[in-house]
Every structure is written in C-alpha cells, then in structure tokens.
C-alpha cells in the first residue's frame, strides 16, 4: 500500500494537470463561438463533454502504463459501462431520446457494475437504484452546466481521496482525472459560455460518480457508507427533493425537464451565475471534508446529521421560490400595471451557465419602435 501511495503521489499530479490542459484546449478550440442566446445545446455535438469523457477513459487505459496498477474487475466494468452511457448521451445530443430511454439503458449498465462488485441481492437492488438516480440527477441539464460541473468535480475529488486512502491507486487516478477535466471544463466558461457538457458528458459523469461510490464502499459498514454517500451527494439529494415535491404539488410530470432545479431557484432569488456555482460547490466541499474525516475515523456517522438538517431546511426554503406560472416568467409586473417589466437576458455567464427567461418580445418591439421614432425626429 505504501508503494502504491508513493507511485500515486508521483504520477497523479502531472497526469491530472495534463488531462485538465487537454480538456480545456479541446473545449475552447472546438466549441462554437457566439452568444449563448444563439446557440442551441440540443441536437448538437458538444466537444466539452466529449473531451471530459476521452480524458477520463484515457486515464483509465493508461493506468497500468503509468505504474499505478491495473484496474480491478469491477472498475473495468464500471469504465466500460460509463463509456456506453457516454455513447448514449452523444446520441441523445443529436437525436433526443427522452428520459425513459435513458433509464432503460442506465439500468442494465448499473446492474453490470453491481454484479461485478459482488453485492448481494437486496444491497444490489439499492445500488442499482442509486446509480440510475445519480446518472439522471447529474444530467443532461445544459442550462446549469457550470453548477452541475462544480458539484460533480467536488464529488469526484472526494471519491478519489477515498480511493487513495483505500490503496486503490488506479481508481484514484481515474477519479482525479475526471475532477481535473470537469474543472478545466469550468474554466472554458470563465468569460463566456462557449462549451457545454451535453448529454455525453453529463450522463458519463453522473454514471461514473454513482458507480464509483458503490464500488468503493463495498464491504464497509452500512452506517458509515450511508453517511459518506449522503455527505458526497447532499446537493444532488436536496435538488431531487425540491424538484420532486414542487412538480408533484404543481401537478407536473416528474420526468419532464423544467427550470425548477436548485440552480434556477438560486438565480431567481438574485444570485449571480458565479454565486450559484460557488454556493453549490461550497456545500459539496463541506460534504467532501466530512467524507475524509469519516474515512480517517475522526468523525462518527452521526456527525452528518447537521448536514441532513441543513439539507431539509434548504429544501423547505427553496420550495417557496416561484418557478412556475406567469409570475415566475416575469409576465406579471410585481409593481403593478404601471411598473416597467423586468428585462432578463440570456447573458454569457462565468461559471454558472444558468440562463434566465428571454426578453418579452412585445416589450422589446415597443421599445425599439419608440427609439426609432426619436431618432427620426
């Protein structure tokens, strides 16, 4: 184990940095230019997500060559299943398949990972549900790619640290490269939105993180495993609760996408795109620190209870943010009939990539007409 840690400490930093550089360069070179408002994320090829996938798969294939050891059977199955999910996402980017088709494909892929990991029947069923849930929780949601990428990067760092502590250097390399690739992807949206994860990158990321969490916690005590999984995915679980409850109360279909996730609600209350990414990334970082302390034996599983309480409080507060109907779209002025409608633009964002609804076309047309008359006079 000591030798493996020494090799990993030597190989991981340059490999991770190189992967991040490659992803950032590829995303910037191949991404289409122009404003966000004129770029349709659907029915397009997304080089940012493809670069994340290729960098991570390349690290998995190069692990034996770098001297960090070969991948275990369960990890090898995980990599192949993640590649299949990336292929599904790439097809979904060009020809949208829908949520049900993604669930149909993700279920057997998750089952293959669970069988390879050697889990029993009942734990295996829970593991399959967990992997499928995380796969669809992380994507595809291109209008919040920055927030999603930030949370995923923090989760990958936490899982990579768990793998390194457990002496699984190859797994730590793969997860470290995934985290570096996601961070490099975030840097491509530093000044303007020029790249998106798309279905390819988001489905691959969600499946890899969900399956890696299962593989790395096989054989661990149930209370500690549950505490670590919750801490790593506190943001995702809160988002799922908010979306499920709000759609159920509003009578909306659960599987139909909408701008009702946590990232969209935080934008509604006034946070900037960068602020959304910082808040969600900070919460994920707190969860990652909890996991490291749990792995080291410095915290008991009950130490995550305050995090559970904070998650529940956040769910209750965020459910009060309006995201449906005319008021949420800005069509009903809050200041009365004489109040000028609030204009919201699809602005090129920094890290968040969260877009607000488009400008009211009739209001914009009237403004342009008045401006033209004044110029003529």
Phi, psi (deg, nearest 5) at residue 342: -75, 125
Report pLDDT for 250.
Answer: 85
pLDDT in tens, 52-98: 888 888 877 776 666 556 677 888 899 999 999 999 988 888 887 77
pLDDT in tens, 19-29: 545 555 554 55
Note whether residue 347 is domain-resident. no
Note whether residue 340 is domain-resident. no
Domain that residue 91 falls in: 2-329
Long-range own/partner contacts, residues 61-68 (CB < 8 A, 24 or more apart)? 62/15, 63/169, 63/170, 63/173, 63/174, 64/170, 66/11, 66/15, 66/173, 67/7, 67/11, 68/4, 68/7, 68/8, 68/11, 68/12, 68/169, 68/170, 68/172, 68/173
Q: Identify which of 374, 237, 223 has the alpha carbon closest to the alpha carbon of residue 300.
A: 223
Report pLDDT for 348.
Answer: 30
Note whether residue 361 is domain-resident. no
Report pLDDT for 351.
Answer: 36
Note whether residue 376 is domain-resident. no
Note whether residue 359 is domain-resident. no
Report pLDDT for 308.
Answer: 94
Report pLDDT for 67.
Answer: 58
Asked if 235 contacts 284 with a C-beta cutoff of 8 angstroms, the reply is yes
Q: How many domains does the chain have?
A: 1
Report pLDDT for 140.
Answer: 61
Note whether residue 362 is domain-resident. no
Report pLDDT for 313.
Answer: 95
Report pLDDT for 283.
Answer: 93
Note whether residue 124 is domain-resident. yes
Spans of the chain, pLDDT less than 70 = 1-46, 63-70, 139-145, 188-196, 325-377
Report pLDDT for 199.
Answer: 82
Give the Cα separation of 291 and 285 in Å (integer).
10
pTM (two decimals)? 0.76
């Amino acid at each position: 184990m000591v030798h493996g840690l020494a090799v990993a400490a030597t190989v991981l930093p340059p490999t991770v940095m190189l992967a991040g550089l490659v992803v950032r360069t590829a995303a910037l070179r191949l991404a289409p230019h122009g404003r966000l408002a004129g770029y349709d994320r659907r029915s397009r090829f997304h080089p940012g997500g493809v670069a994340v996938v290729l960098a991570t798969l390349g690290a998995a294939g190069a692990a034996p060559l770098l001297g960090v050891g070969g991948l275990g059977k369960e990890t090898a199955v995980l990599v192949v299943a993640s590649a299949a999910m990336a292929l599904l996402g790439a097809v979904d980017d060009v020809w949208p398949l829908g949520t049900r088709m993604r669930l149909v494909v993700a279920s057997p892929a998750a089952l293959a990972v669970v069988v390879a990991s050697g889990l029993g029947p009942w734990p295996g069923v829970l593991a399959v549900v967990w992997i499928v849930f995380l796969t669809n929780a992380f994507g595809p949601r291109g209008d919040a790619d920055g927030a999603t990428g930030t949370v995923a990067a923090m989760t990958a760092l936490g899982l990579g640290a768990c793998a390194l502590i457990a002496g699984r250097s190859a797994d730590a390399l793969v997860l470290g490269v995934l985290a570096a690739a996601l961070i490099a992807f975030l840097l491509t949206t530093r000044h303007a939105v020029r790249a998106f994860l798309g279905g390819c990158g988001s489905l691959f990321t969600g499946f890899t993180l969900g399956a890696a969490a299962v593989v790395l916690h096989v054989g661990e005590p149930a209370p500690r495993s549950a505490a670590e999984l919750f801490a790593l995915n506190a943001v995702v679980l809160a988002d799922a609760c908010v979306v499920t409850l709000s759609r159920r109360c509003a009578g909306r279909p659960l599987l139909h996408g909408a701008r009702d996730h946590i990232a969209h609600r935080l934008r509604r209350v006034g946070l900037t795109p960068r602020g959304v990414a910082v808040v969600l990334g900070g919460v994920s970082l707190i969860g990652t620190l909890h996991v490291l302390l749990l792995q080291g034996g410095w915290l008991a599983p009950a130490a995550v209870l305050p995090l559970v309480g904070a998650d529940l409080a956040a769910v209750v507060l965020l459910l009060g943010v309006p995201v449906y109907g005319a008021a949420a779209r800005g069509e009903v002025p809050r200041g009365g009939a004489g109040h000028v409608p609030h204009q919201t633009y699809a602005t090129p964002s920094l890290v968040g990539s969260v877009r607000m609804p488009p400008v009211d076309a009739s209001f914009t047309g009237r403004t342009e007409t008045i401006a033209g008359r004044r110029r003529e006079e």
